[in-house]
Each structure stands twice: as structure tokens, then as C-alpha cells.
Amino acid sequence: MRKVSLSLLWLFLLLGVVACSSDDGQELLPLGDGGDVEEDVYVPDTLELEPLDLNAVNLPPEPDYSDPDMWFIQEAMLGKTDLDVFYTCPTEVITDYISGWKTYGHMNVYDENQRKAFSPDFDKAVPVFGITANLYSFYYRQVTLQSFASESTLASRFPYAFQDIKRAFNYYLEHFNNGRPFIIAGYSQGGKATVEMLKELQPSHMKRLVAAYVIGYKITEEDLLSPNIVPATGASDVGVTCCFSSVGDERSIWPIIQEPVACAINPVNWKIDDTPAEISWVQRVDPDRPVTVRKDMDRNIMFVDNYIVEDFGFYPVTWIMGKKNYHRYEFTLYAPSITQNIAQRYAAFQSIPTGIKPIRW
């Protein structure tokens, strides 16, 4: 009887060790208060938050990411796919503003007018990312477009925006992701955030990173020193970063976001040489010629030919740089191609024998 009891004790101890560990080094903890185990809970690694001097700049209130109003979540694909996209939106707050006798250079996520300017970016992201994946995006104290007037202003303000982005990513990992594979994507200021996020991802994150998309922003040689930033070289490589930004001519390049660029990939044919690709879904200047996009090998930027802007309107980047800076129109030009490519890369990810599968829904 004693031998049987000791054998059962060792068995329970062994099961306890197995139940509290996972293949990728992440901890699985039982629910409850020590009673019967109902299910396993995925406990992710999170990004480290840097101490910041909150007196160095005037900051609006911090977003509370436990508040649903701070999120845009499109989960139409939940249960149909295991893939998530964590997406950081571009800059929509244009100028610094005065409130209570203070000048602010960051978005106030509780200000209704600023939220209205920001929220259309969520809707634009749905047909790009929400068709093939579960989309998670959020409000954050982004820096104003005016902040991009100089490198020094941007450098002093961006860390506070990036801290919000990291907090949002940590909340996403802890409350929404449940161990699923994911894509990190960002447009413009969101592209800058994506580059910086990649540098801070831990090995447990990289195992589940299908790809990253840096849209309308640059990756520099210094950025490539990070082992986490591996430039994409084709349509179906995984764990890589796809970077692209578009103009009609070299005079329209906006240096602070578009040069120097160390790597880029054509977001239509997914090649890294200068082979042109045709775009059939946008309007043409000359109806007898196709719209084409070609990678300039010297500048690592996309040159788009024969494209006519359909809704020029007033947008500061386009207005300042002219109609041939297509920073505002990256989704217009490439949305169908990006959507298809996400499916390609995820299929390749799933085919890897050691590919990470979600622990549970």
C-alpha cells in the first residue's frame, strides 16, 4: 500500500511539472484557488517599460488599455484563423495645440475631436488586415505631425508615444492574443513604432512572429543591427520585415520618413530587385498604360509611374511635398496585395514543422 501511495505521489509531481511549463518557455498557470484545475492560462512575456521623465514634456492623460474605448478590435476571423495583426495607426493629429495654457505635442486620446480625426484609420485598416486575420488596433498619444519638422523634436517626443504602444502591446498579449501567431504592422509613425518594437521583441515573441510590415517609413542600417529585423526577400519568407514607401519622383522624397533606407521590398511582386509590377486597381494618368511600381535600387524606395491621385484634398504631407509624394496612399496602392501576402506568409508559417500553434482559444 505504501509503495502504491509513493508511486501516485511521484506521478502527481511529474504531472504538475509538465502542466506548469510550455515548449516556448512561457508559463502556464492553473486557474482557481488551488482546487480543481479548470484550464490553462497563457502567461506571455511582455515588453519592458522604460522610466521616462514625465516633467520633460507636457503630456495629456495616459490611455487606460483596460477601457474598451481605447481599442479597435475586428475579430470577424476569430475561430476561422489563428492569426492576429497588431496594427499601429499613422499620424493624424497635425499641429501642436494649446489646452489650459499649455502647449501639447501629443494626441489627447480622450478628446473627441482628435479621436474623430484618428478613427478613420481603423476603418482603412480593416480591408487590409481584417480579411485574413483578427485585427487589434488602439488609440495612443501619438506625436503630432508638427513634431516631424525636426529630428530633435521627434526624438524628444516619440518615446512617450512609444511607451503607450508598448503598453498596448503588453495588454494585447495578456488579454487578447492567447498564444496565437501574429503580425506586427504600422503605417507612418506606426511604421517607426514597428521598427522600434521589433528591436525589443523577446525570443518567445519571435517564435510566433509571422512577419512585420513597416509601411510608409524607413529602416536604416543602424536598425538592421538588431537581429530581430531581417529584411524580407520574397513573398513567403516568415519572421521577416517588409518595408516600403512610395513616391512619384525623387524630388518628392521626405527625408525624415523616407531616407536613408537600408532595405525595401516591392509590395506588389514581393521582389527586392527593380523588376516593375503592374497595379490594376487604381486610376491612371494615361489610360493606355498601366500603373507600375518599381524599386529604386539606390534609394530603396518605390517609384510609382502613371498613377493619378483620386482624392488629393488637403493633407499636409502631400501638400508640402506635392502630389507625387504618395505617403498618404500606400493602402490605396497596395491593399489587395498586402492582404494576399499576409495569407501567403501565414500559409508558409503553418507549413513549418516546428511552427508555433496557439495553446488554446
Determine the Cα–Cα distance for residues 22 and 20; give it in Å rounded to an integer.
7
Determine the Cα–Cα distance for residues 318 and 312; give it in Å rounded to an integer.
8
Residue 313: all three cell numbers together:
484634398
User: 196-254: per-residue pLDDT in tens?
Assistant: 999 999 999 999 999 999 999 999 999 999 999 999 999 999 999 999 999 999 999 99
Query: With contact defined as beta carbons under 8 Å apart, do 44 and 26 qualify?
Result: yes
Range scoring the smallest mean pLDDT among 120-134, 270-284, 301-315, 336-350 = 301-315
Query: With contact defined as beta carbons under 8 Å apart, do 249 and 237 qualify?
Result: no
Query: ∠ at Cα 259 (253, 261), nearest 5°?
Result: 130
In angstroms, what is the C-alpha Rg of the chain? 23
- What's the whole-model pTM score? 0.86
Residue owning grid cell 512561457: 26
Q: Domain coordinates of the chain in residue numbers? A: 58-350
Task: Tell me the residue ranges of DSSP E strands in 150-198.
Answer: 182-187
Determine the Cα–Cα distance for residues 37 and 138; give it in Å rounded to an integer.
34
Cβ burial, residue 183 (10 Å; 0-12/13-18/19+): buried
Average pLDDT over residues 258-283: 96
Q: Is the pLDDT of residue 30 over 70?
A: no
Q: What is the pLDDT at residue 79?
A: 82
Q: With cut-offs at 50, 70 and 90, classify the pLDDT of residue 309.
A: confident
Q: What is the pLDDT at residue 312?
A: 56
Question: What are the residues whose beta carbons fall under 8 Å from the beta carbon of 187, sequence distance 6 or more?
Answer: 87, 88, 89, 90, 121, 215, 216, 217, 330, 331
3-state SS assignment for residue 181: coil
Neighbours of 61 (CB within 10 A): 10
Query: With contact defined as beta carbons under 8 Å apart, do 279 and 270 qualify?
Result: no
Q: What is the pLDDT at residue 353?
A: 79
Query: With contact defined as beta carbons under 8 Å apart, do 197 and 165 qualify?
Result: yes
Q: With cut-offs at 50, 70 and 90, classify the pLDDT of residue 354.
A: low
Beta bridge pairs of residue 184: 86, 212
Q: Is the pLDDT of residue 357 over 90?
A: no
